[in-house]
Amino acid sequence: MHVTGIVAEYNPFHNGHLYQLTYCKKQIGSDFVIAVMSGHFTQRGLPSIADKFTRTQMALHSGIDLVLELPVPFATASAERFSEAAVSLLHKTGCTHTLSFGSEVGNLELLQTIASTLSKETPLFSQTLKHALQQGESFPRARQKALIHSLTALGFSPCTLEKILESPNNILGIEYLRALTKWESSIIPTTLKREIADYHQTVITAPIASATAIRQALLASDHTSISSCMPPSSFFFLPKEPTALPQWDDLGSLLQYKLMLSQKEDLYSIWDVPKDLMHSIYNTFSQTIDLETILTAVTSKTYTRATVQRAFLRLLLDIKKIDMLSLETHDWIPYIRVLGCRKTAFPLLKKLTQKASVPIITNLSKVKHTLSPEAQKLLTYEIRATQLYYYLCKKPSFYFQDYTQPFIKV
């Protein structure tokens, strides 16, 4: 039984994702494909365009065999933490052989070289990094500079490197490779070149479009274009009304209230938000109630829009450093939650139950109380994220869906 793992947001599941799935089955020869999927919020800190249970339906009906949930603190973390947790999860399944990921460059060897340069942190690398940070560069940009400097010394072309490191899927790919090394995993990585759609593309022009372009078309109710780049099995489940989409702006009032409730010291206990960024959010909230205005005011050369959005979300979910530190000592992942499984993949689910090194959750309300305190805390964040998501969708009757929704079988 050969099993391949994919890390994805499926926001929504489109033809590009189907292409990757087909590649895993046909070219790699996988019997089963597992997706480690983000829940209700994306890596950019934004609510996804369909709830996680609907996106699980999309994936399963399109041929994904098993959907596992990437817990919300990691799903909305920077590339490094996101990848570490996703790879740790696949590693802990105990039954994943291959990790498939898309990258703009499509060259595994090159990505491996970059990954190991980053992990080694040579003196040249460290010096350049330090210097760039002192110049006020953001951490990702400073690291990129240090990397280019180090690799140029090894004979690579700075121009090519710059292009590689500006592409988000290359960056994630590098982080997956680093994480595989970190967790000493036997999972074999393989990368697939993203041929057609650019991540930043905002218009649908081909049968394979970016998720960003699809989301734009959804807002414009351009269903014809969307249906041209999604498998019908996935398109069927997509909410078609713009009013059904979560309203990100509604987070503004909650953020105001959260800041009112907090002393500055409480704010500094939030996980993975730099102190000066938090300071700047706190100082801005008494200037305006409008979320977009706060976001624009706080975004800077050092802290990108995505970083600020993630900080907002972490604040709102009240994700505490102390809880995350205690998870870190368990390689981040204290349980594996099954969101859905194809009936034909029940043998895989059975194997997962036998081989996994952490508890498997298929029915949350049944097992929550049996889990470790760390795991229960992590689940609390997950349940809170679900409630926040449905608040943004104006659907309070779904607040407790994490408890009431059995794992999806198709």
Q: Cβ 253 to a second copy, closest distance in Å?
A: 5
Residue 370 phi, psi dihedral angles, 5° rounding: -90, -10
The residue among 218 and 388 lying less far from a second copy, judged by its C-beta, is 388
Of 99 and 324, the one with the shorter C-beta distance to a second copy is: 324
Q: Smallest gap, in angstroms, from Cβ of residue 100 to a second copy?
A: 36
| Residue closer to a second copy (CB basis): 276 or 290 | 290
Q: How far is the CB of 263 from a second copy (least distance, A)?
A: 8
Q: Give the amino acid at 227.
A: S
By beta-carbon proximity to a second copy, the closer residue of 198 and 250 is 250
Nearest distance from residue 309's CB to a second copy, in Å? 17
Instruction: Please name the residue ranges forming H helices in 135-210.
Output: 139-153, 158-165, 168-182
Q: Nearest 5°: phi and psi at 131?
A: -60, -45
Nearer to a second copy, 61 or 258 (CB): 258
Kindly state the smallest distance separating residue 359's Cβ from a second copy, in Å: 21
Q: What is the DSSP string of 118-148?
A: HHH--HHHHHHHHHHHHTT--HHHHHHHHHH
Q: Which residues of 159-190 are buried (b: 16+ CB within 10 A; e: fewer)?
A: eebeebbebebbbbbbbbbbbbebbebebebe
Residue with tokens 């109710």: 221
Distance CA 42, CA 10 (A): 10
> Is residue 103 classed as helix, strand or coil in its secondary structure?
strand
What is the smallest separation between the CB atom of 393 and a second copy, expressed in angstroms? 10
Please identify, using beta-carbon distances, which residue of 113 and 380 lies nearer to a second copy. 380
Instruction: Tell me the closest approach of the beta carbon of residue 58 to a second copy, in angstroms.
Output: 26
Nearer residue to a second copy within complex by CB, 186 or 263? 263
How many of the other CB atoms lie within 10 Å of CB of 304? 15
Exposure of 220 by Cβ count < 10 A (0-12 exposed, 13-18 middle, 19+ buried)? exposed
In contact, 59 and 35? CB cutoff 8 Å: yes
Query: With contact defined as beta carbons under 8 Å apart, do 6 and 37 qualify?
Result: no
Q: Is 64 left (phi over 0), alpha (psi -120 to 50) or beta?
A: beta
How many CB atoms sit inside 10 A of residue 55's CB? Answer: 29
- Residues in contact with a second copy by CB under 8 A are 250, 253-254, 256-258, 260-261, 263, 285-289, 316, 318, 380, 384, 387-388, 391, 394, 396-397, 399-400
**CB closer to a second copy, 19 vs 398:** 398
CB of 394 to a second copy, least distance (A): 6
| Closest separation in Å from C-beta 235 to a second copy | 30
122 and 150 in contact (C-beta within 8 Å)?
yes
Residue nearer to a second copy on the CB measure, 154 or 260: 260
